[in-house]
């Protein structure tokens, strides 16, 4: 006596989302730590020296967090107004920040009071940075100017008045102490050399520029503004290399992964996108709760820190190898595991008499009904809401099984308005799915046959049938278009490929070398030739 064979639910290949090396890498972060700040977080900067603290600029304060602490290890509060752009020097000892009140302040990381105050700008300073020789400071301001300051003397070295709008981003070269680049709301980004008084290079981004990033080699420059992220080749005189448009709101921040292979961009559309720097394709995507203003990656990608407009700071730490293994093990383990396993791991001793219990076959609800030949109930079980929505392949498999048994018509017939409308809504949702269409079309035809007589009696059913009709018409148009495209592609392939190599693509005019010459004709002795 064989046991009942349950309905075979086919596993369909997942369309679209694929598990790549990148998704594995970027998904290997713990659940984020969220910290509430006082206002929108405009800038995050990691200290270049261990333990890689990071400075978070939000409203009138700059908090410095340690790599694992959730409380700030240090706070700078001596700002009269909103602070901007708190950045570490390359030795991690000094921190510079601009302010809404146009004063640039320089702090010792250990102290509280500003070491130096640079006054000279007339409007809010949004950009501050140290040059690579560590003795000068670059600032950019809403008064359209950018300035260089000397730290020891606290004097202004130079003023550049080339931009015609707010300067909201700037960056200094890590390799050359005289080079720095600024981006402005006048759509241009300019490369300055401190040894001359004018910009040496100017590029047009086409949108107000929000963020700048230099590659470690400093041959390539990335700018973000509007919805665009653009990559420029500095060694070719500022030639645009790529323009990426993957966000649907303004891109606010850029970052580079530790090995320089991946570029990250954060945007007001609440997404962080990860690009491969070889082909500039999006390889991964993070979602956040609010519009993102700032983004930073710890060295070695140990953590991803994101600041948002709702003043929430989100810190994701990378899982350690043990943790990532442990998690996968835990997923297999159910909460009731211990209860479940009770008495099962008992090893029988020598004198024990073992009573074997027959293995019980667990069947799904619809299979239990199918086993009893209750076809309508089986279909009802398979069409339960959570099954229908979460895995539509189950109802489809049950419909297929009923069709195979020749009882689909019985199962579909005799339903009231509510049951029928549930069935129809399932059909509307999945009828045009390529994987399910062959099965569902049969069912849909049967439903139309069975319920033809009651058309016009129920407004609900009528509305659904009209929707289905509409859906089918659209699908037919769509298929027609696809066939047209296919035809076009075929002709293109046929004309572009050399003819001899494509005998299989289409019936291209290929003459076969036919060997049809009978060389010898030899006869089997059929009639009583050999008799052994």
> Binding of other proteins at residue 355 (CB under 8 A)?
no
- Number of residues forming the site for other proteins (CB under 8 A): 44
Is there a contact between 221 and 234 (Cβ–Cβ < 8 Å)? yes
User: What is the SS3 assignment for 314?
Assistant: strand
Per-residue contact track with other proteins, 117 to 146, x per CB under 8 A? ------------------------------
> Binding of other proteins at residue 339 (CB under 8 A)?
no
C-alpha atoms less than 13 angstroms from C-alpha of 88 in its C-beta half-sphere = 21
Of the two residues 19 and 339, which places its CB atom closer to other proteins in the complex? 19
Calpha distance 375→443 (Å, rounded)? 14
| b (16+ CB within 10 A) / e for 48-69 | eeeebbbbbbbbbbbbbbebee
> Binding of other proteins at residue 526 (CB under 8 A)?
yes
> Binding of other proteins at residue 216 (CB under 8 A)?
no
State the SS3 of 153-167: CCEEEEEECCCCCCE
Identify residues 233-292 at the interface with other proteins (CB under 8 A).
none
> Binding of other proteins at residue 519 (CB under 8 A)?
yes
Is there a contact between 173 and 218 (Cβ–Cβ < 8 Å)? yes
> Binding of other proteins at residue 328 (CB under 8 A)?
no
- The piece of 177-185, 272-280, 321-329, 504-512 that touches other proteins (CB under 8 A) is 504-512
Calpha distance 271→346 (Å, rounded)? 52
Q: Residues 8, 328, 418, 453: which binds other proteins (CB under 8 A)?
A: 8
Of the two residues 40 and 378, which places its CB atom closer to other proteins in the complex? 378
Residues in the chain: 532
Of the two residues 52 and 368, which places its CB atom closer to other proteins in the complex? 368
Is there a contact between 211 and 194 (Cβ–Cβ < 8 Å)? no
| b (16+ CB within 10 A) / e for 192-209 | bebeeeebebebebebbb
**Burial degree of 494 (CB within 10 A; 0-12, 13-18, 19+):** middle
> Binding of other proteins at residue 530 (CB under 8 A)?
yes
Q: How far is the CB of 153 from other proteins (least distance, A)?
A: 59
> Binding of other proteins at residue 19 (CB under 8 A)?
yes
Of the two residues 35 and 382, which places its CB atom closer to other proteins in the complex? 382
> Binding of other proteins at residue 512 (CB under 8 A)?
yes
Identify residues 371-430 at the interface with other proteins (CB under 8 A).
401, 403-406
Calpha distance 380→383 (Å, rounded)? 5
> Binding of other proteins at residue 532 (CB under 8 A)?
yes
> Binding of other proteins at residue 493 (CB under 8 A)?
no
* Tokens read off for 333: 């383990």
> Binding of other proteins at residue 524 (CB under 8 A)?
yes
Interacting residue ranges for other proteins, rule: CB under 8 A: 1-8, 10, 18-20, 370, 401, 403-406, 438, 442, 501, 503-504, 507, 510, 512-526, 529-532
């Amino acid at each position: 006596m064989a046991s009942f064979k349950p309905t075979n639910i086919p596993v369909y290949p997942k369309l679209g989302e694929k598990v790549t090396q990148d998704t594995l890498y970027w998904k290997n972060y713990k659940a984020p730590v969220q910290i509430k700040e006082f206002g929108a977080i405009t800038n995050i900067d990691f200290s270049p020296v261990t333990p890689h603290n990071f400075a978070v600029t939000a409203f009138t304060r700059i908090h410095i967090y340690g790599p694992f602490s959730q409380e700030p290890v240090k706070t700078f509060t001596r700002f009269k107004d909103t602070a901007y752009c708190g950045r570490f020097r390359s030795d991690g000892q000094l921190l510079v920040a601009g302010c809404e009140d146009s004063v640039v302040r320089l702090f010792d990381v250990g102290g509280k009071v500003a070491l130096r105050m640079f006054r000279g700008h007339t409007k809010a300073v949004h950009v501050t940075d140290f040059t690579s020789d560590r003795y000068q400071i670059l600032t950019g301001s809403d008064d359209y100017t950018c300035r260089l300051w000397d730290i020891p003397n606290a004097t202004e070295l130079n003023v550049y008045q080339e931009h015609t709008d707010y300067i909201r981003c700037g960056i200094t070269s890590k390799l050359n102490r005289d080079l720095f680049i600024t981006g402005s709301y006048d759509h241009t980004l300019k490369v300055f050399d401190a040894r001359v008084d004018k910009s040496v290079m100017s590029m047009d981004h086409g949108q107000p520029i929000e963020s700048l990033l230099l590659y470690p080699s400093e041959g390539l420059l990335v700018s973000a503004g509007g919805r665009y992220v653009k990559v420029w080749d500095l060694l070719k005189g500022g030639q645009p290399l790529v323009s990426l448009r993957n966000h649907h709101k303004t891109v606010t921040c850029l970052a580079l992964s530790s090995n320089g292979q991946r570029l990250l961009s954060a945007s007001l559309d609440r997404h962080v996108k990860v690009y491969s720097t070889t082909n500039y394709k999006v390889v991964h995507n993070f979602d956040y709760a609010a519009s993102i203003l700032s983004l930073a990656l710890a060295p070695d990608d140990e953590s991803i820190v994101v600041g948002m407009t709702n003043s929430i700071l989100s810190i994701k730490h990378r899982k350690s190898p043990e943790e990532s293994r442990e998690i996968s093990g835990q997923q297999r383990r159910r909460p009731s595991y211990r209860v479940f396993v009770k008495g099962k791991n008992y090893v029988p001793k020598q004198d024990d008499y073992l009573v074997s219990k027959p293995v019980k076959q667990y069947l799904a609800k619809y299979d239990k009904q199918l086993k009893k030949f209750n076809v309508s109930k089986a279909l009802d079980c398979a069409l339960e809401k959570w099954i229908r929505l979460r895995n539509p392949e189950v109802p489809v498999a049950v419909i297929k099984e009923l069709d195979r048994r020749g009882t689909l018509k019985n199962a579909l017939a005799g339903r009231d308005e509510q049951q029928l409308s549930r069935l129809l809504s399932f059909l509307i949702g999945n009828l045009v799915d390529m994987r399910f269409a062959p099965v569902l079309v049969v069912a849909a035809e049967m439903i139309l046959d069975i319920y033809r007589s009651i058309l016009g009696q129920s407004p609900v059913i009528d509305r659904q049938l009209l929707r289905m009709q509409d859906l089918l018409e659209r699908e037919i148009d769509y298929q027609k278009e696809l066939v047209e495209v296919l035809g076009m592609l075929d002709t293109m392939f046929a004309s572009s490929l050399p003819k001899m190599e494509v005998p299989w693509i289409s019936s291209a005019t290929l003459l076969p070398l036919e060997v049809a010459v009978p060389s010898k004709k030899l006869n089997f002795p059929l009639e009583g030739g050999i008799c052994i």
